[in-house]
Structure formats: C-alpha cells, structure tokens
Amino acid sequence: MPGSKRIAILATDGFEQSELLQPRDAFKQAGFHVDVVAPKAGSIRGWKDKDWGDAVPVDVALADARVEDYDALVLPGGQMNPDILRMDQHAVALVKAFDAAGKPLAAICHGPWLLVEAGAAKGRKVTSWPSVRTDLQNAGATWSDAEVVVDGHLITSRKPQDIPAFNRAVLEALAQA
C-alpha cells in the first residue's frame, strides 16, 4: 500500500534539479511519503541547466536517516551532488545499508558514483551518465547504454530524459517489495 511506504531521496547542494523534483513529485502523487535527506538542515540548492536552481527543503538530516525507516532510497545525479556525497561517510553508510537490506536502491545520471563508493556496483548490471561508465566498470559492474537497468533491487538510469522510465521502475520495485 503506497501510503504506508516511505522513500528517501539522498541529496546535497548541486543535485540535478529535475532528477530530484520529478521523482519526488511522481512518488508523492502515487501516494508515497517522500523525505529529502541531506547532510545539512534547512534546504539544499539544485543545479538547473548551467546555473544554480531552486532550493528544496530538507526533511531529515542525514545523521538521523536510518534504513529501517524507509522502503527505498533514490540517488539523484548532477556532478556536484554525488561527488560531495561519496566523500561523506554517513551517505556511503546509508547506501551500503540499503544495498545490504535488499531494498530498492535507485540512482540516476552521476548518482551511481555513490554505488561505486559503497561497493554496491560490483557484479551488478547498471547504466549511468556516460562519463561514469569507466568508474562503474572499474568497480566491477557491467554497464549498458539503456534508459533504465534493473538488477534485483538496484535501479539505474542515464539522464533527465530517462526520468519517466526511472520513476516507473522505482514504483514497480516498491509494488513488489
């Protein structure tokens, strides 16, 4: 039942605006509770086109986010966002915890950098923004150029144009969870 399921979206300043807002809004419209989780309280700012975008309120501080409180974790891209988060031990630990729990773990664009850092890409089939391909392959993943790749509980997509397929895959995974 969607209303009882919770989704965490892990992000920080510099997230690709469309990759956080469109999934968040689609999941809320489908009846899920969605929290934006970030390393800092208050708000985080997106990146849109070639400049800073909108501020998004933070619902839960990263230090307070626990895998048992959520049914899925979503990792939006943007270059800055996952690059900053992969250096944050709490962010990496949360991704590891979702992977270990076998809960839906979804990453788009540059978001799979966090999968690499958490060891969640090894032996998995994935996709990403093309520049992340080598990092994923070096981490032991099999990369393909597809709008969405689902490997067990792991869901990956390449870019903002893939968001509709990405959202459908996350919602399908939650329906099966």
Catalytically annotated residue among 33, 90, 110, 153: 110
Under DSSP, the state recorded for 96 is H
What are the residues facing 155 on neighbouring strands? 106, 150
Beta-carbon contacts of residue 121 (< 8 Å; ≥ 6 apart) = 112, 115, 136, 139, 140, 141
- Residue 61 CA neighbour count, 13 Å, CB half: 5
**C-alpha radius of gyration, the chain, whole number:** 14
DSSP run (H or E) holding 91: helix 89-101
Question: Do 96 and 120 meet the contact criterion of CB atoms below 8 Å apart?
Answer: yes
DSSP run (H or E) holding 35: strand 33-38
Could you give the CA distance from residue 73 to residue 156 in angstroms, rounded to a whole number? 12
33 is catalytic: no
> What is the bridge-based pairing of β-strands 148-151 and 51-57?
unpaired
Q: Which residues are catalytic?
A: 110
